[in-house]
Amino acid sequence: MNRTILIAAIATTGLFAAATMPQAANDHIDGDCNLTIPRDDMTNRDAHAVYTCLSKGMTKGYNTGDKRWIPADFVADYREWTAASTLPADPGVHGERFLFTYVNDIGADEYMKYADEDVAMPVGSVIAKESFFVGENGKAKPGPLFLMQKADKGASPRTNDWYYMAVAPNGTPMAPNVFKACNECHEAYADSDYMAYPEEDVRRPAK
């Protein structure tokens, strides 16, 4: 094969783009998704490279086994919803994990106004928040999938009709005391219907 044809062949398969793209972020992680630079030097882009590396394994893990009281379609489908984050970010809540948020069609318009007041998420809204953790030693590992579902009016007055759910990285439904472990913190965002939103610099604007 002559050189021009080879380049054309590579370009059409997309390999050319991959080979010439800046690889800087990926140079900071190894083949097991672990960080090879100090944790304190990690940027959002490095976090994204870790996320890309862990990504397939995360959904596979979350979808393993019976979801029991958690609607299995939320877990199977959330990656097809609208991403409300541009990059995973570490806001220092949810156990110092990096977070990446998706919202279903019913909730997307209201959620992605990122409004601080007069928010009323429609019944049937579901927000899914993936998490992963990068330790001080650079070791990366998936964290739980956190879910909130807006239930019918009056279904759960104590939580403003939000149902909280979480799936462990291995797919097991987690059973925290949601009033203490979830609602006590989320009710502080009462003006925005308990929505806390991603960090401002990683919010994906609505279309």
Interface ranges with ligand HEC (CB under 6 A): 89, 91, 93-94, 99, 101, 127, 129, 146-148, 164-166, 176, 181-182, 185-186, 195-199
Q: DSSP state, 122?
A: P
Shortest separation between residue 120's beta carbon and ligand HEC, angstroms: 14
Shortest separation between residue 158's beta carbon and ligand HEC, angstroms: 14
- Nearer to ligand HEC by C-beta: 49 or 99? 99
Shortest separation between residue 182's beta carbon and ligand HEC, angstroms: 3
Shortest separation between residue 131's beta carbon and ligand HEC, angstroms: 9
- Nearer to ligand HEC by C-beta: 65 or 173? 173
- Nearer to ligand HEC by C-beta: 54 or 195? 195
- Nearer to ligand HEC by C-beta: 31 or 80? 80
- Nearer to ligand HEC by C-beta: 9 or 113? 113
**Residues linked to residue 130 through DSSP beta bridges, in sequence order:** 100
Cα–Cα distance for residue pair 202/207, rounded to 1 Å: 15
SS3 per residue for the chain: CCHHHHHHHHHHHCHHHHHHCCCCHHHHECCCCCECCCHHHCCHHHHHHHHHHHHHHHHHHHCCCCCCCCCHHHHHHHHHCEECECCCECCCCCCCCEEEEEECHHHHHHHCCCCCCCCCCCCCCEEEEEEEEECCCCCEEECCEEEEEECCCCCCHHHCCEEEEEECCCCCEECCCHHHHHHHHHHHHHHHCCCCCCCHHHECCCC
- Nearer to ligand HEC by C-beta: 1 or 201? 201
Shortest separation between residue 112's beta carbon and ligand HEC, angstroms: 11
Question: The dihedral of CA 126, 127, 133, 134: what is its sign?
Answer: positive
Torsion angles phi and psi, residue 94, rounded to 5: 50, 45
Shortest separation between residue 34's beta carbon and ligand HEC, angstroms: 23
